[in-house]
């Protein structure tokens, strides 16, 4: 049976710990016992962990041997802010697929009240990616940055020879994403707009910043579907 994986909140040499609600779920809901073993992800590796101490808000582990693991490909997802329930579903699923970094973007067509509330969701998004990473047995969760305005995205996803940056925009004139990724880049940046897509001036900004416009086909996808499909295609291209 495959051992469950946990991402450590604290690491000190050959010891690690889960704390707070993270520990409470293991201690109270899963009824953990001293001596049980789990895989413990430390951020740089995954090691065998044996429970040495349990309390309501803290579970401590002695760390054993490390396992050989592969880390997430270099995929950055710039995801425009849209309805939080659907956006968070996309964040969860893209984490499971293997995205390395998520940047929430305040777009012109992001609802004003969602844009205003986005900064307060950052901690929640970090919990979502940690839980999804544990569930999918990733060795580390993706980075989730604080929301940025589009004009500030260039500093978060700077251009380089190794990076292919693609903005999704539904147009018959655009190449398909799969065609663009046939070059097998070593890094991919993806920008997915909100419901209604990117505004014309935003697409102009992407073009001037060196992003390539691409579509996902002839059908119009919801933003969360587009993010998941694009991430899956990028992951396949980086393998």
CATH of the domain at 229: 3.40.1280.10
Strand pairing class (58-67; 46-55): antiparallel
Residues 80 and 100 placed together within one structural domain of the fold: yes
Q: How far apart are CA 45 and CA 91, in angstroms?
A: 23
Distance set, CA 151 to CA 2, 63, 157 (Å): 45, 44, 11
| Segment 206-226, tens digit of pLDDT | 999 999 999 998 888 999 999
For residue 69, the model assigns a pLDDT of: 82
Answering whether pTM is above 0.85, one says: yes
* Angle ∠(204,94,92) on CA atoms, nearest 5: 120
| Segment 221-238, tens digit of pLDDT | 999 999 999 999 999 998
Q: How far is CA 14 from the centre of its chain?
A: 28
For the chain, residues with pLDDT lower than 70 are 1
Q: How far apart are CA 123 and CA 72, in angstroms?
A: 21
Last residue of a domain, one of 67, 99, 114: 67
Residues 118 and 229 placed together within one structural domain of the fold: yes
Beta-carbon-side half-sphere exposure of residue 197 (alpha carbons within 13 Å): 15
For the chain, what is the domain count? 2
Residues 165 and 57 placed together within one structural domain of the fold: no
Residues 51 and 158 placed together within one structural domain of the fold: no
- Residues 78, 189 contacting (CB under 8 angstroms): yes
For residue 1, the model assigns a pLDDT of: 56
Q: How far apart are CA 20 and CA 150, in angstroms?
A: 35
Last residue of a domain, one of 25, 48, 67: 67
Residues 132 and 218 placed together within one structural domain of the fold: yes
Residues 230 and 151 placed together within one structural domain of the fold: yes
Residues 132 and 99 placed together within one structural domain of the fold: yes
Last residue of a domain, one of 36, 67, 98: 67
Burial of residue 58 (CB within 10 Å: 0-12, 13-18, 19+) is middle
Residues 55 and 87 placed together within one structural domain of the fold: no
For residue 126, the model assigns a pLDDT of: 96
Closest CA to 230 of 136, 238, 141, 135: 238
Residues 59 and 133 placed together within one structural domain of the fold: no
CA pseudo-torsion sign 47, 50, 56, 58 = negative
Residues 117 and 33 placed together within one structural domain of the fold: no
Q: Token pair of 162, please?
A: 């190794």
Q: How far apart are CA 138 and CA 189, in angstroms?
A: 20
Domain hosting residue 29, numbered range: 5-67
Task: Scan for tokens 């579970």, then name that residue.
Answer: 59
Residues 50 and 94 placed together within one structural domain of the fold: no
The CATH code of the domain that includes 15 is 2.40.240.20
């Amino acid at each position: 049976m495959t051992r469950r994986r946990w991402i450590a909140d604290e690491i000190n040499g050959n010891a690690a710990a889960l704390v707070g609600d993270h520990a409470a779920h293991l201690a109270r809901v899963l009824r953990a016992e001293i001596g049980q073993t789990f895989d413990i992800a430390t951020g740089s590796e995954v090691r065998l962990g044996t429970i040495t101490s349990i309390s309501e808000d803290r579970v401590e582990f002695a760390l054993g041997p490390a396992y050989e693991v592969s880390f997430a490909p270099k995929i950055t997802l710039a995801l425009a802010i849209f309805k939080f329930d659907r956006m968070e579903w996309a964040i969860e699923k893209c984490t499971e697929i293997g995205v390395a970094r998520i940047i929430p973007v305040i777009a012109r067509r992001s609802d004003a009240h969602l844009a205003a509330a986005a900064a307060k969701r950052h901690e929640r998004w970090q919990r979502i990616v940690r839980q999804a990473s544990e569930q999918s047995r990733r060795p580390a969760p993706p980075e989730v940055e604080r929301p940025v305005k589009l004009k500030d995205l260039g500093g978060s996803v700077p251009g380089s020879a190794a990076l292919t940056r693609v903005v999704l925009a539904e147009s018959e004139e655009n190449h398909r994403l799969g065609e663009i990724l046939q070059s097998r880049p070593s890094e991919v940046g993806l920008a997915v707009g909100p419901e209604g897509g990117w505004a014309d001036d935003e697409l102009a900004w992407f073009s001037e910043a060196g992003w390539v416009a691409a579509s996902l086909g002839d059908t119009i996808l919801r933003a969360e579907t587009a993010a998941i499909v694009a991430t899956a295609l990028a992951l396949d291209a980086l393998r």
